Structure 1
């Protein structure tokens, strides 16, 4: 009807032709034109809430979404119902509003959308603050200016890693109604790690794989991209020795020709196993600046995380296609490289690299490229009282002032932080700095000199398998969380799996406990002789804090 109305009023088409073309009754269209029916007013009765009241509801929804606590469809319906009851526009016992109301509400506010929220860990939410990001860009600007590489994108690189599993997550499928749809997948197997690297002009290095095992088998690299290399590790994850081998045997040979005074900037997230004196000495020898990103900010500041690892979800599609093409067969560790390489070639294109470096503000250098809404969770978590923007500016007087107070009462109230005794000193962990600078090297050397280098050890891998007592998040190709794993080792043995676990001839579920003083984790029954039942009665103290208290 709206299209027919426009054809007659704007395009000067006849009423009969417009009605025939749009499939609407002629008399209805004539009534709209001759009787002056308001086209802006929708058909049907007035909405339950007025425009200004719905505007307050929309502001509340938008604010919670920025804070990292978005509302579901059910939450919005419940909140709207409570609002209508509060305004005495709906009886107390009338029940919740319907899904039909929600659909019409969304149509009246096109700025809202229903989407699947992405996971954001509390560590990332707190770490991604405006102050941290500004400090990072100030230091990055200083390094780029000092070594004269701000306008040399071919010398600015980023390296990161992601894991692949043989068990894929099925995509949405089509099938008959009433039938439970199942997609056959392979069994969960060992993780295979991919180290990816590229620069700001779109040049990408061939992939570097890390397979679980002790002996190399040529079948593991079947179907690999030309120039690819690999290493073996106990866990299938990278560690300090493997990262050093990657730098020496894979990264340096692929560097472009440069002048004797030119330096190369390599950005990466700073897992502690990737920070060592031998690695720094190797980098300085080849004039490579190792710049460690601030911890828990790679989802905002790292180009590979921001724009390249997510397109690798085509690996899931490749696994599904492989299962359909070969019924009765499963994906083995010898197929992972072939499937991952195909996804690698599709995702790691020059334009994706260029856009990723631009989106993270690295090249062209522009700190304003970072989405300011990413700082909202950290900003609001630091507050003792949450308050929506414009909360004190009522749209209308009377009911709107009461409505603003109603929405304020529905805001989450952060609890007062608990006062803990002073934490014991932990190893120095650089973040947001170039570790090849002399001042940072001196701090790292001091850590080694003090014998506190347990957290900076080249053999510590990123993801040893632990028991179900404390499940780890599965790292997939869509998200790289290596910087989140740095705090998750046992504070006694500094490992993910206890030493005595591999000596058992039966399946053992490893229980973990977190110290209430230093917040570090400990393997129960291995690194601490106590078990779960022993620590249920009161606060738990690790052996370090117990010795300090004594």
Structure 2
């Protein structure tokens, strides 16, 4: 006599031993559809392995989900609120739970209708849980910090420009089956702060747990890494600040690693040129090689271009501010390497609580962490996600691209230009803001009353928000004056710095620098000649200017406070309301 199973195994035993379901949601829906089509419950149960009682309950819609009605705001208002939340998340201004509840209260107040909600205390947590149940498309995430310059530089046009430059090189050199000839290099900095990201154990009712931080030196250390699309890596290049820790660092560090020194512990043009000699020595002998780098000034010097052209190394520069999307090392190597390094630094405190992690111990710690992260699997995954190898323009994560928020022209500037009636040539020559389209259009001045019309909400114009909520669900505004010149660094596009075109550009820049230095030398020489001809005139002017400065920069007493606005060095700043 054989036993099929005990009472507990069949799910009829003690409390807590009920057998969990072993079927998917798709299998359940398929079985229910068959039962509704005419198949018997027993036959459908034997075929799908789902209990016949479960099939019977779902056939009768016993478990049909009926969301709780929303008694706070209407369905249209809630739809506008959801559209606003998703729009803000797409533009890197995510909305938290507290802000959503505050916006819902503002919607109720804007409507002016009677409600059961206590407007002083706000909406309850039950309302929030039901709100989330009604909208399963929402998900809570911890946002990653993003520099505003990356928002302006990381655009679909910039990424398309990179592939337009990289694809001809990829095809012309026949790299479809040669991943060992495609390389990516970049620097990674280690400072004196090593933060552990592990979860530790403590007593259950304890609210706080502390961890003693390891004492570290304040000197910056740079690790230059280089990997290929085949999953291979060039030995690391470690750059210390001012001096090497000791002669034993080469024995304790990663195998075959290169060591260098710079005044501040960062990569410079001279060290990068020396590393290129090291790179050519360890790279495959087959040519040409393709090296993908960022736009750092140490990577694009004339000496680097000359050396790479002589050794048949095609250097492709990524677009500015796009390395977190297009650089394989940033995608799959650097962040895990810092995590493992920080974890090892925290575990050292369990053995030596008084250990100081400095330049002396850094090579040994990097030797332990480097092979755990810089693996063939991680390297190849980074190249694949970036779309560099295999070549795929659509491989990058499009969710990392932040949509640009349109800017608003300064209303005061627009009003002054409208009333003056003549365009300002200086304002017309001023550089435009990188944001392409202006949605918040300030109304022009009325020809009858002369007053300026209020601005319109772009979300209302696109149909995401209803007109009644135009004053509540408002996107962030970036005002830029047409008369104000804002100095911004030029976001460089992708380019091949070893090309003939870039080589000519370097010659032109060098000639321009020499011409500028020559003009400066001539001006200084002319000034020296004038000083020799009229020695007393310049000293009198200099003394007169010093007297005027001393007169204006005299300390102000309490009795002269009322005269401060008339002084040349006192500025009146606009109020916070005027900035809004």
The 2-side partners of 1:241 and 1:124 are apart by 28
User: Is 1:359 matched up with 2:388?
Assistant: no
Tell me the distance in 2 between the aligned counterparts of 1:445 and 1:166: 41
My pick for the range that moved more, 372-381 or 194-203, is 372-381
User: How far apart are the structure 1 equivalents of 2:405 and 2:214?
Assistant: 43
Q: Which has the higher contact order (CA 8 A, sep 6+)?
A: 1
**How far apart, in 2, do the equivalents of 1:227 and 1:220 lie?**
11
2:124 aligned with 1:98: yes
The match for 1:334 among 360, 365, 375 is: 360
Computing the radius of gyration over CA atoms, which structure comes out larger, 1 or 2? 2
Deviation at 1:131, TM superposition (A): 1.9
TM-score (norm 1): 0.69
Matched-pair contact (CA < 8 Å) for 2:158–2:493: no
Equivalent residue, structure 2, for 1:420: 484
Write the distance in 2 (CA, Å) between the matches of 1:147 and 1:375.
Answer: 30
**Residues 137, 69 of structure 1: alpha-carbon distance in 2 compared, 3 angstrom cutoff:** same
* Number of equivalent positions: 435
Give the corresponding residue for 2:302: 277
Distance 1:392 1:451 in 2: 50
Aligned to 2:558: none
1:169 equivalent to 2:195? Answer yes
Partner of 1:218: 247
Shift of 1:90: 5.0
Name the counterpart of 1:345.
371
Give CA deviations for 1:74-120 in whole Å, capped at 9, x if unaligned: 21221233234445445573422234433443344333222221111
Unaligned runs of 5+ in 2: 1-17, 43-50, 408-434, 441-456, 517-566, 574-580
Q: Which residue, 246, 252, 259 being the options, matches 1:230?
A: 259
Pick from 243, 249, 266: which aligns with 2:272? 243
Structure 1 gap segments, 5+ residues each: 14-21, 395-399, 455-533, 541-550
CA distance in 2 between partners of 1:63 and 1:422 (Å): 28
Alignment-derived partner of residue 77 in structure 1? 101
TM alignment of 1:37-116, pairs within 5 A: 37=62, 39-42=64-67, 48-49=72-73, 53-87=77-111, 88=113, 89-91=115-117, 93-116=119-142
Cα-to-partner distance string for 1:274-319 (whole Å, 9 max, x where unaligned): 2222111111111011111111111112111122212122211111
The residue number in structure 2 matching 1:320 is: 346
Structure 1 window deviating more from structure 2 (212-221 vs 351-360): it is 212-221
1:254 to 255, 279, 282: 282
Partners of 1:216 and 1:134 in 2: CA distance? 45
Q: Is the 8 A contact 1:160 1:269 kept in 2?
A: yes
Report the alpha carbon displacement of residue 58 of structure 1 after superposing the two structures with TM. Answer: 2.2
TM-score (normalizing by structure 2): 0.66
Selected match of 2:237 from 208, 222, 231: 208
Task: Give, in angstroms, the shift of residue 134 of structure 1.
Answer: 1.6
Following TM superposition, by how much is the alpha carbon of 1:215 offset from its aligned partner in structure 2, in angstroms? 4.3
| 8 A contact 1:360–1:370 mirrored in 2 | yes
Q: CA deviation at 1:434?
A: 1.0
- Return the offset for 1:122: 0.9
Report Cα offsets for 1:359-391 as digits up to 9, x if no partner: 112112222223334444336562422777897
* 2:162–2:319 CA contact under 8 A, matched in 1: yes
Shift of 1:202: 1.0
SS at match of 2:404: helix
